[in-house]
Amino acid sequence: MTAFARLLRPASAPIRRWVLTAFPRPPSGGIDYEHPAGDPGLFGPSSVTWRMHSDFCGMLAGGLCALYLQLLHPRALAGVWDHSNFREDLVGRLRRTTAFVGATTYAPTHDAQAMIERVRTIHGHVRGLDEAGLPYAADDPDLLTWVHVSEMSSFLAGYRSYGPMTVSAPVADAYLDETRRVAEALGARDVPRSVAEMDAYIARVLPSLVFGERSRVVLEVLGRLDLPVPMAGLSRDLFLHAGAALLPDWAASLLQRSDADLRKAKLARGTLRGMAPLFRVALTEGVASRSCRRVGVDPGLLSHWPLQA
């Protein structure tokens, strides 16, 4: 442990409790991230993805940014509207998404593939009509691509804003090229494999995005997110605004973000950047570290980009 980490350790204990309360580890019988020995999962320790997804602040803020983006897509929103209890259990939805990303990133191969198959089965039952009366299906390859891009672009933006390492263009491209394998396994097609491809894809999709009445309702529910943690309102506002700070300009415009909203986002970005080192000191025994032990590498390896990136 560095001298800086030792200095931060006393202040990090409450943060660790906060995280484990908001996102508790599953009871016994869940995924064993420490066995079988040597199994790299879908990515492994030489990937950019293991490093990118190990940063809590970037991932949580990025995940919330992705929710903002997804509520702009009428068909993606319709699936949530018709087939989830987001009004009563938005925290549960966030936890399930976190579990999926964690498992597909770090779990042993069998468990990661089983998680993907489980979600594919669920998607097969999610279909209906969107707000405009047009049909949708959660296993629509084009819709899966949008959900993937909204998430990966947001996680990338989250790491760039709150993560500990600078993200070069080759690292960003490697991240998108790696993570597309999960989207493709779910059934997505024509998944961007670089930032240039992602930007071109978003430009094509942009004319179909809408901030409708359902979007407003979900945005209001998101603003009332009730995390079961101390200082729940303050915690919610910090991460929601830090997530909104990641929004690209076109999305902020569609979401009709006010000047006050933009000021809050700027303040939250600065605050979370200042707090991020505390989170990193507090969270040293998460699935990333446990998965490193499974494959016999020092978790400190994740503090440097792989040489090939």
Flag whether 22 is in a domain. no
Tell me what pLDDT residue 2 has: 56
Flag whether 56 is in a domain. yes
Flag whether 25 is in a domain. no
Residues 265-281 have pLDDT tens digits of 999 999 999 999 999 98
Tell me what pLDDT residue 99 has: 93
Flag whether 264 is in a domain. yes
> Is the separation of the CB atoms in 72 and 210 below 8 Å?
yes
Tell me what pLDDT residue 19 has: 78
Flag whether 171 is in a domain. yes
Q: pTM to 2 decimals? A: 0.93
With CA atoms as reference, report the closest residue to 8 among 282, 274, 272, 271: 282
Which domain, by its residues, includes 266?
39-285
Domain count, the chain: 1
Flag whether 273 is in a domain. yes
Q: Which residues pair with 248 in a beta bridge?
A: none
Q: Which parts of the chain have pLDDT scores under 50?
A: 4, 7
Q: Which pair of structure tokens corresponds to residue 135?
A: 């049909």
Determine how β-strand 127-129 pairs with β-strand 135-137.
antiparallel
Flag whether 59 is in a domain. yes
With CA atoms as reference, report the closest residue to 110 among 55, 181, 33: 33
Which DSSP category does 43 fall into?
Answer: T
CB neighbourhood size of 299 (10 A)? 18
Flag whether 290 is in a domain. no
Helices (H), 208-286: 213-223, 232-244, 249-254, 259-282
CA-CA distance, 214 to 228, in Å (whole number)?
26
